[in-house]
C-alpha cells in the first residue's frame, strides 16, 4: 500500500464531522484524506516519500465554502489604479497626473473610486475639502487625456449616493454636453450654477452604477483578458482567506462563465467553483426556459455539468424588470462589476410559469428575495420541490411563519451578515421595532427549525471569518449594539455553516466540508484557533496554509 503524500501533525484538527471531533493529525494521498486522528496513528501512514508538516499546535479546519461569493470581482479591483489614501483634492490630482504621464497618447485613464477599500466609507468627507473634484480641476493635470473616476459598486458600502467624475476630454468623447439628459430619474448630471455646464460629477441614487453603462459607455470596460487575469488574482486572495470553494448564488453571466472556463481548461482553478446561470430574458414577451436555454435545458438539471472544480447548474431568478435595470441591460453582453445579467427579472405570472417548468425538469432555482417564497410554495403545490434544495439567499428578516415554510419546502438559506448585521443591524432594528428584533438574521431560530444555513461574504470583504464573527458577536458597526442576542450561534455552529453547510448547498456534503477519511483533501491551517481566539479577533483570522485536493495553493510567508 502506498504511503501518504502529505501528513500534517502536532496540531488541533477541527474535523467538523458529525461529532465535531478534535484530532491531532491528518494524512493525504492524492486528492483525498486517508487518515485523521492521533499523531502516532497518522504518522504511521507515511513512508520515505511522504512530506511531513509540523503544525506546532496550530488549528486546521476544512476549507471554507462561500455561499454567495462574487469571487470574480475581487481581482477586478486591481485592474484600475487605486486612489486609496488620498486625503485631499490635491492628492487626487497628483495621483491622476502620474497616471496621465504614464499613459500612451489618447489612452483613457480610468481609476477605482475615491475612498479606501473595501467599503469606501465616508466619501467625500475623507477629503480635506469634503467635496468631489470637478472636471476643471482634473483638466489642470490632464487637459488632453480622458480621465474617469469610477463610482463604487454600491453594495460594498450600502449607502447612497454613488458618484463618478469625468474630465472635459472624457465628457467630450462621451458626447456629454449641457443639453444631455440623464437616462433615468435617479441620475443627476451635476451642473455649474452660473454657467449651466456639466461639472463632470455624476450622482446616482442606486446601488448598481448606471452611468458607466450608459452616459460614460465610451470609457474602457473590463475585457475578457482582464476578467481571466482578475479571476486568477481573485482565487489567490480567497485561498489566502482559507476559502476553497464558492457558490455563485446570484447567477453568472456568459462573459464571466467564459473567464471561468478558460482558467478551468488551463487546469488553474484553485477554488472549486459552482456557478448558477444568470438568464438574460431580453425583451421577448414569451420568455420561457426554452427561449433562453434552447430546446434542451436539461444540462442545468440536477447537479448540472462539470467536475469537482467547475460546475454549472440551476438558474437565478427575480421579479422585474425594473426601469433602472432595463437601462443597464442595454449594455449586454457587458455586465460591469455585476457579473450577472440585469434582465434576469420577470413579471410574477411569467416567472411562476418558468419556475413550474424548472421544477418539472428538475432544474434548481436560486433567488435572493424572500418575496419569492410564495412562488416557491405555489410551485410546490403542483410539483414537489422539498428534496430539490432550492435556495433563498441574502436573508435579512424572517418571521417564524416564513422559517416554517422554508423548512417545509426544503429550501437552503444563505446569509448576508456583512450587510444585515454589521452595517444595517441597527437600521433593521429601528424598522421592525424591539418586538421584532428576533426576526433579524434569525440564525438560532433557523437552526432549531432544522433549516440548512450556509454563510456568505458577498465579496465585502472576501474573508468568511467576518461572517463567522458576525454570527457569534452580532454587533452593529455604527452603534456596537448586539443585534438580537438570542439569535447568536456558537463558534462551532458558525464554523459548520462556513464548511459542511456550504457543501450541502451544492449537494457535496459527502465529498467535502469536513475532514473525514475518503473526503476531498480541502483544508486550511489557520493563524488562530476560531474556537478559542478572542471574539473580536475571529474576523482577523487568515490562512497560513491552504490545500485544495491535496495540493498546496497558498502558503503564507513568515
Angle ∠(468,456,406) on CA atoms, nearest 5: 105
| Cα dihedral value 413, 414, 420, 421, nearest 10 | 100
Structure confidence at residue 286 (pLDDT): 46
Query: Does a structural domain hold residue 262?
Result: yes
Among the candidates 190, 213, 236, a domain finishes at 213
Query: Does a structural domain hold residue 50?
Result: yes
Same domain, 430 and 387: yes
Structure confidence at residue 288 (pLDDT): 59
Query: Does a structural domain hold residue 542?
Result: no
Same domain, 21 and 138: no
Q: Is 459 exposed, middle or buried (0-12, 13-18, 19+ CB in 10 A)?
A: buried
Interval 58-70: pLDDT, tens: 999 999 999 999 9
Please determine, for residue 117, whether its predicted confidence score (pLDDT) is greater than 60: yes
Return the C-alpha cell found at 89: 483634492
Residue 372 is part of a domain; what is its CATH number? 3.20.20.140
Interval 294-345: pLDDT, tens: 544 677 888 899 999 999 999 999 999 999 999 999 999 999 999 999 999 9
Please determine, for residue 415, whether its predicted confidence score (pLDDT) is greater than 70: yes
Same domain, 281 and 409: yes
For the chain, what is the domain count? Answer: 3
Same domain, 165 and 307: no
Residue-number span of the structural domain to which 164 is assigned: 80-213
Query: Does a structural domain hold residue 526?
Result: no
d(CA 260, CA 522): 20
Same domain, 490 and 509: yes
CB 25 within 8 A of CB 11: yes
Mean pLDDT, range 432-437, rounded to an integer: 95
Residue 37 is part of a domain; what is its CATH number? 2.30.40.10
Same domain, 229 and 308: yes
Query: Does a structural domain hold residue 555?
Result: no
CB 27 within 8 A of CB 33: yes
Which CB contacts under 8 angstroms, 24+ apart, belong to 103-106? 103/145, 106/145
The structure's pTM equals 0.96
Same domain, 455 and 315: yes
At 558, the pLDDT band (50, 70, 90 cuts) reads low
Same domain, 184 and 256: no
Same domain, 420 and 488: yes
Angle ∠(512,471,444) on CA atoms, nearest 5: 90
Averaged pLDDT score across all residues of the chain: 95
Same domain, 251 and 205: no
Query: Does a structural domain hold residue 165?
Result: yes
CB 463 within 8 A of CB 238: no
CA-based end-to-end distance of the chain = 36
Same domain, 290 and 188: no
Interval 263-296: pLDDT, tens: 999 999 999 999 999 999 875 444 556 666 554 4
d(CA 238, CA 482): 28
Return the C-alpha cell found at 334: 457587458
Same domain, 29 and 94: no
Query: Does a structural domain hold residue 118?
Result: yes
Interval 138-184: pLDDT, tens: 999 999 999 999 999 999 999 999 999 999 999 999 999 999 999 99
According to DSSP, the residues that pair with 143 across neighbouring strands are none
Query: Does a structural domain hold residue 65?
Result: no
Distances (CA, A) of 21 to 15, 16, 17, 382, 492: 6, 7, 6, 43, 11
Amino acid at each position: 500500500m502506498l504511503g501518504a503524500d502529505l501528513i500534517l501533525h502536532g496540531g488541533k484538527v477541527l474535523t467538523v464531522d458529525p461529532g465535531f471531533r478534535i484530532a491531532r493529525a491528518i494524512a493525504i494521498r492524492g486528492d483525498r484524506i486517508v487518515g485523521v486522528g492521533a499523531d502516532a496513528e497518522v504518522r504511521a501512514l507515511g513512508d520515505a516519500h511522504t512530506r511531513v508538516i509540523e503544525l506546532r499546535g496550530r488549528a486546521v479546519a476544512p476549507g471554507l465554502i462561500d455561499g454567495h461569493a462574487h469571487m470574480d470581482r475581487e481581482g477586478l479591483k486591481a485592474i484600475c489604479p487605486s486612489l486609496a489614501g488620498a486625503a485631499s483634492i490635491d492628492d487626487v490630482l497628483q495621483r491622476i497626473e502620474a497616471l496621465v504621464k504614464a499613459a500612451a497618447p489618447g489612452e483613457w485613464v480610468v481609476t477605482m473610486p475615491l475612498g479606501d477599500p473595501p467599503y469606501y466609507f465616508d466619501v467625500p468627507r475623507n477629503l480635506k475639502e469634503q467635496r468631489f473634484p470637478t472636471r476643471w480641476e482634473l483638466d489642470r493635470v490632464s487637459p488632453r487625456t480622458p480621465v474617469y473616476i469610477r463610482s463604487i459598486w454600491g453594495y460594498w458600502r450600502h449607502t447612497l449616493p454613488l458618484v463618478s467624475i469625468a474630465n472635459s476630454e472624457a465628457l467630450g468623447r462621451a458626447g456629454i454636453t449641457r443639453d444631455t439628459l440623464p437616462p433615468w430619474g435617479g441620475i443627476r448630471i451635476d451642473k455649474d450654477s452660473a454657467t449651466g455646464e456639466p461639472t463632470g460629477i455624476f450622482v446616482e441614487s442606486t446601488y448598481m452604477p448606471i452611468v458607466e453603462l450608459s452616459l460614460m459607455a465610451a470609457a474602457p470596460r473590463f475585457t475578457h483578458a482582464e476578467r481571466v487575469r482578475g479571476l486568477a488574482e481573485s482565487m489567490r486572495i480567497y485561498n489566502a482567506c482559507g476559502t476553497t470553494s464558492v457558490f455563485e448564488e446570484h447567477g453568472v453571466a456568459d462573459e464571466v462563465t467564459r473567464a471561468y472556463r478558460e482558467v478551468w481548461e488551463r487546469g488553474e482553478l484553485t477554488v472549486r467553483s459552482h456557478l448558477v446561470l444568470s438568464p438574460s430574458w431580453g425583451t421577448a414577451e414569451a420568455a420561457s426556459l426554452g427561449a433562453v436555454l434552447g430546446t434542451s435545458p436539461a444540462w442545468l438539471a440536477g447537479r448540472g455539468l462539470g467536475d469537482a472544480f467547475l460546475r454549472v447548474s440551476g438558474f437565478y431568478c427575480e421579479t422585474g424588470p425594473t426601469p433602472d435595470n432595463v437601462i443597464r441591460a442595454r449594455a449586454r453582453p457587458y455586465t460591469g462589476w455585476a457579473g450577472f445579467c440585469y434582465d434576469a427579472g420577470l413579471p410574477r405570472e411569467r416567472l411562476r410559469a418558468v419556475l413550474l417548468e424548472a421544477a418539472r425538469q428538475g432544474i434548481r432555482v436560486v433567488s435572493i428575495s424572500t418575496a419569492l417564497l410564495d412562488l416557491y410554495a405555489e410551485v410546490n403545490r403542483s410539483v414537489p420541490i422539498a428534496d430539490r434544495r432550492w435556495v433563498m439567499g441574502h436573508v435579512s428578516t424572517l418571521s417564524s411563519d416564513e422559517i416554517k415554510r422554508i423548512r417545509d419546502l426544503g429550501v437552503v438559506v444563505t446569509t448576508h451578515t456583512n450587510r444585515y448585521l454589521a452595517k444595517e443591524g441597527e437600521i433593521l432594528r429601528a424598522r421592525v421595532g424591539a418586538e421584532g428584533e428576533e426576526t433579524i438574521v434569525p440564525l438560532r431560530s433557523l437552526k432549531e427549525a432544522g433549516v440548512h444555513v450556509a454563510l456568505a461574504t458577498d465579496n465585502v470583504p472576501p474573508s468568511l471569518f467576518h461572517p463567522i464573527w458576525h454570527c457569534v458577536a452580532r454587533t452593529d458597526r455604527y452603534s456596537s449594539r448586539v443585534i438580537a442576542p438570542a439569535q447568536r450561534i456558537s463558534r462551532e455552529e458558525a464554523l459548520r455553516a462556513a464548511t459542511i453547510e456550504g457543501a450541502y448547498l451544492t449537494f457535496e456534503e459527502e465529498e467535502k466540508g469536513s475532514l473525514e477519511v475518503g473526503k476531498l483533501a480541502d483544508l486550511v491551517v489557520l493563524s488562530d484557533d476560531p474556537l478559542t481566539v478572542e471574539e473580536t479577533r475571529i474576523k482577523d483570522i487568515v490562512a497560513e496554509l491552504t490545500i485544495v485536493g491535496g495540493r498546496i495553493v497558498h502558503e503564507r510567508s513568515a
